[in-house]
A and B are shown apart, each in its own frame.
Chain A
Amino acid sequence: MTGLDLLLWAVLPYVVVAVLVGGTIWRYRYDRFGWTTRSSELYESRLLRIGSPLFHFGILVVAFGHVIGLLVPEEWTTRAGLSESAYHAQAVVLGGVAGVATVAGLAILVYRRRATGPVFSATTRNDKAMYAMLVAAIAAGLTTTLVGSGAVGEQHNYRETVSVWFRSVLTLRPDVDAMTAAPAAFRVHALVAMLLFAAWPFTRLVHAFTAPVGYLFRPYIVYRSRRHSRSRTPAARRSQWATGTAQHAPAGPPHAPERTRRAAPSPGPAESPSASNGLRVERGDASNAI
């Protein structure tokens, strides 16, 4: 174990986590207005409609695969009756398919970005740096899939090295030796990924952190009051959000469609304590409304 190894695999991960978490919090407080996908679909949609779903669904599967591969110890799957070779076969197939879809999608998106005039004009230096890191991380990742599966060089079971190191980082006892035992491709991939995560809060990638999952559970129509909503300090905002859901349900008109049945908001939390399946009134800051 050299000093460099110690720096890369025992210090750097924590630095990255600190930057990722701290940077995200800071960005959320400082730059909520800039927190967007910055979509370019208005300029061009033909290529986007192929490339973007390919890339996004691909990367979601890839991310899911990483969670399984890194967080689930090998003993668990073995005990569940999944042999090492069977696990790797499915990981390589699934990861390979998702990886290829991701790369194909990314290739289409990068081509589109360069070839479509307005899209290229709207590309900032920040975007270009982000794309470089993203491409590097995915390329390195695909290489590890090839290396790990034995298609190139010697087969390697990363669940005995990289995964062990990853979990050791999470438990605050970084196992540097586990990582140094991994082939170079894995280490490069991990390094590039850490670079990407450190840059994450400062790029347009932040939109992933606000994936609108809550939409599935929300009533269709959102009402918000302009009352009680003037302060811009984060503390005041938090307290608003904490108390800001006044709910009220009507008796329910007999023919009202279930999903869209709405309850109008009550003017104050003191009123109408009835149970709710209706509308949420949020007290938001209306000063940024357009």
Chain B
Amino acid sequence: MTRPDRAPGRVMAQLAMVMNLDKCIGCHTCSVTCKQVWTNRGGVEYAWFNNVETRPGQGYPRRYQDQETWRGGWTRTRGGRLKPRSGGRLRRLLTLFANPVMPNIRDYYEPWTYDYDNLTSAPLGDDFPVARPTSLLTGEPLSIQWSANWDDNLGGGAEVCDQDPVVERMRQKAEESVRFAFEQAYMFYLPRICEHCLNPSCVASCPSGSLYKRSEDGIVLVDQDRCRGWRMCVTACPYKKIYFNHKTGKAEKCHFCYPRVEVGLPTVCSETCVGRLRYLGLVLYDADRVGEAAAVENEHDLYEAQLDLLLDPDDPRVQDAARRDGIPEDWLAAARRSPVYALAKRHRVALPLHPEFRTLPMVWYIPPLSPVVDAVAESGHDGEDVDNLFGAVDALRIPVAYLAELFSAGDPEPVRAVLRRLSAMRSYMRRVNLGDPADETIAQAAGMTGAEVTELYRLLAIAKYHDRYVVPTAHETDGPVPEAACGLDFDGGPGAYGGPFGEASGRPVPVSVETFHALKDRQTADAPADTAGPGARVNLLNWDGRGRPAGLFPPPHTQEQP
């Protein structure tokens, strides 16, 4: 598929991510830290910009991969054109007043809290007081039926996993009996964020044009001032990674932690990942051929077409074209060091999630291999011998067919090739680590050289911080880095919620303004950090620990207990 003779068209840069699924232990630290930073507020209680789901499982929201139902992504028309699966322009405007296939809150889960107050305020009695769950939508008591991770670690068993759309497809295709009996059960974790696609169907479906792909780094963002809450993006995203904030009435999504990556920091989910399985880096791609690549006829060719878009940052012609198109030198340097380019294109071990959605996703996954070594070793063979490993790839506990449905539109070959490369790396490096001479034939068996295997090993196993995260800062000429404000503002703050026209009206107070006043208070007030007064609140970040500012604790109970 590669066309070395073809000069690159317009070169654009894209910040992308690779996740090495072998290392994911399903601890949900990424989800929790992401939630703490970005969605820990009213209206998006149910939203997880980052979630980790157990495969097989229904995912979050339930069965989101079933595009027959949810109509996300693109379809290729008979004329070879791409059209959003949920309908073209006219159809979308005609269904503007009630989106026919928008997920209900119960397809995610109804957010709840607990009546903690009852634990301390319940009258003395024979029974322990309990904190009952109450709905965050209605305030009524609630019977919890489902949540973002209800089927974590195959929870619910066959009853739940049978409805995994991927399992259903496997059954349809091969009439293979996919069993969930204990002895044959398999699972792995799949962390998911927004894919920041090259051909984003959410952007294509936004009637008001508030969703856009940032031309500098390819991050897909929602302009909160232009979003009118038409909800079409929620349907159009096949990964269901756009959430409707039911308080502000606007769409919100993973923004690749743009306030962090602009200053060269990794995203929160990457930074806090204990398995250190995430990689961040730039890829350069040929923007003129995106439509062409997304519209190839055979679904199985989509992976290659997508790889073909990625340009070699070491190629002088690409570099010239990139300079012509305004990509700064430091970004070019970062692109050359990019772990994403290395894993996806050079070593070809990272695969896109559901390429058949035709959105050209830019979060790549290295499929899991782990169980194979144990399986081979248990059968009495050398678990890290390359021949044994190659033979075992098709007998993996996690069926190749399942991985193929996720990562290569059902074509097992790319997945097999990746698993062979990973096996070869283990086998090759084992000899090196044991002091045996390096065996070049092992690398060659997987279509690599020893040097490439060593480089892959360094990236995957040593995985130094500065090798995993190569994030160039936003260029100086781009102007000062803005504050993340608006929908991310503090709850109950002036202008955040509770404005005169509903819960979300008014201008937000920039964080710097709030901090300025808090600091001024602290420096000029008699009582340190005492910001009490009408509407004041205690900013713990500014509290120096001296004294007890009024408002730090709720007023004491004066009522006597009976």
The interface bits of chain A over 243-277 (1 if a CB of B lies within 8 angstroms of the residue's CB, else 0) are: 00000101101011111111111111001000000
A153 at the interface (CB under 8 A from B): no
> Which of A44, A253, A288 makes the CB contact (< 8 A) with B224?
A288
Binds B, one of A31-39, A63-71, A144-152: A31-39
Known contacts A38-B249, A117-B140, A259-B83, A49 near B100 by CB under 8 Å: yes
Q: Do B480 and A222 have beta carbons less than 8 Å apart?
A: no
Q: Is A74 an interface residue (CB 8 A)?
A: no
- Contact between B98 and A36, CB atoms less than 8 A apart: no
A126 an interface residue at 8 Å Cβ cutoff?
yes
**Could you mark each residue 57-92 of chain B with 1 if its beta carbon is under 8 Å from any beta carbon of chain A, else 0?**
000000000000000000001011111100011101
Query: Is A14 part of the contact surface with B, judged by Cβ < 8 Å?
Result: no
Instruction: Tell whether, in the assembled complex, residue A33 and residue B10 are in contact, meaning their CB atoms are under 8 Å apart.
Output: no
Considering the chains assembled together, what is the distance between the CA atoms of A204 and B502 in angstroms? 8
In the complex, A40→B215 CA distance in Å? 33
Interface residues in B461-505 by Cβ distance below 8 A to A read: 474, 477-480, 482-488, 499-505
Q: Which single member of A124, A230, A257, A290 contacts B253 (CB below 8 Å)? A: A290
Q: Does A73 contact B (CB under 8 A)?
A: no
Does A57 have its Cβ within 8 Å of any Cβ on chain B?
yes
Contact assessment for B223 and A285 in the assembled complex, using a CB-CB cutoff below 8 Å: yes
The verdict on A259 contacting B81 (CB below 8 Å), with A42-B102, A49-B100, A204-B501 known, is yes
Say whether A207 contacts B89, CB under 8 Å.
no
- Give Cα A27–Cα B292 distance, bound, in whole angstroms: 43
Q: Are A265 and B98 in contact (CB under 8 A)?
A: no
Stretch touching chain B among A167-175, A180-188, A212-220: A212-220
User: Which of B104, B505, B506 gathers most chain A CB within 10 Å?
Assistant: B505
Complex: A35 Cα to B326 Cα, angstroms: 35
Closest B residue to A254 by beta carbon equals B292
Asked if B213 lies at the interface with its beta carbon under 8 angstroms from chain A, I say: yes
Please indicate the chain B residues that have their CB under 8 angstroms from the CB of A27 in the complex. 501
Please determine whether B199 and A221 come into contact, CB atoms closer than 8 angstroms.
yes
B508 engages A33 (CB within 8 Å): yes
A31: chain B residues at CB < 8 Å are 499, 501, 505-507
- When C-beta atoms are compared, the residue in chain B nearest to A44 turns out to be B104
Contacts of B139 in A (CB 8 A): 121
B287 with A262: CB separation less than 8 A: yes
A124 in contact with B503 (CB, 8 Å): yes
A-B contact pairs, 12 of them (CB 8 A): A42-B105, A42-B246, A45-B98, A117-B140, A126-B500, A212-B207, A215-B206, A222-B206, A226-B216, A255-B295, A282-B212, A290-B488
With A118-B137, A267-B325 given, name 9 new contacts (CB 8 A). Answer: A33-B248, A39-B244, A44-B104, A118-B138, A221-B213, A223-B215, A225-B216, A248-B10, A267-B215
Are B211 and A222 neighbours in the complex by a CB distance under 8 Å?
Answer: yes
B residues contacting the other copy or chain, number (CB 8 A): 97
| In the complex, A41 has a CB within 8 A of chain B | yes
Tell whether, in the assembled complex, residue B229 and residue A253 are in contact, meaning their CB atoms are under 8 Å apart. no
CB pair B250 A36 closer than 8 Å:
yes
**Is the C-beta of A30 less than 8 angstroms from some C-beta in chain B?**
yes
A250 to B90, CA, bound (A): 26
A-contact 0/1 string along B255-298, CB 8 Å cutoff:
10010000000000000000000000000000111111011000
Given contacts A41-B98, A225-B215, A284-B212, contact A215 B207 (CB under 8 A): yes
State the CA gap A52–B478 with chains docked (Å): 44
A33 touching B207 in the complex, CB below 8 Å, given contacts A45-B102, A284-B212: no
Least distance between A50 CB and chain B CB atoms (Å): 8
Q: Residues of A at under 8 Å CB distance from B?
A: 27, 30-45, 48-49, 52-53, 55-57, 117-118, 121-122, 124, 126-127, 202-204, 207, 210, 212-216, 218, 220-230, 248, 250-251, 253, 255-268, 271, 281-282, 284-290
CB distance from B108 to the nearest CB of A (A): 9
Residue among A36, A52, A263 with the most chain B CB within 10 A? A36
Whether A52 lies near B502 (C-beta < 8 A) is no
Closest to B358 in A: A260
- Report whether A257 and B482 are in contact in the complex, using a CB–CB cutoff of 8 Å: no
Could you mark each residue 330-341 of chain B with 1 if its beta carbon is under 8 Å from any beta carbon of chain A, else 0? Answer: 000000000000
Query: How many angstroms from the CA of A284 to the CA of B223 in the assembled complex?
Result: 8
B252 touches A290 (CB 8 A): yes
A226 touches B203 (CB 8 A): no
Whether B216 pairs with A260 at a CB distance below 8 angstroms is no
A215-B215 CB under 8 A given contacts A39-B229, A52-B98, A289-B221 = no
B residues less than 8 Å from A122 (CB atoms): 137, 246-247, 503
Instruction: Known contacts A225-B216, A250-B9, A260-B82; decide if A287 and B502 are in contact (CB<8 Å).
Output: no
Q: Cα distance A85–B208 when bound, in Å? A: 42
Contact bitstring B293-319, A, C-beta under 8 A = 1, else 0: 011000000000000000000000000
Per the bound structure, the CA–CA distance linking A260 and B135 in Å amounts to 43
B553 proximal to A (CB < 8 A): no
**Is B368 located at the chain interface by the 8 A CB criterion?**
no
Q: Does B209 contact A (CB under 8 A)?
A: yes
B410 at the interface (CB under 8 A from A): no
A221 touches B482 (CB 8 A): no
Q: How far is the CB of B412 from chain A (nearest CB, A)?
A: 27
Answer whether A227 and B80 are a contact pair too, CB < 8 Å, given A212-B228, A263-B288: no
Q: Which 6 A-B pairs have the closest CB atoms?
A: A34-B505, A267-B326, A264-B287, A257-B81, A212-B207, A287-B482
Q: Is the CB–CB distance between A56 and B97 below 8 Å?
A: yes
| B189 interfacial by beta-carbon distance below 8 Å | no
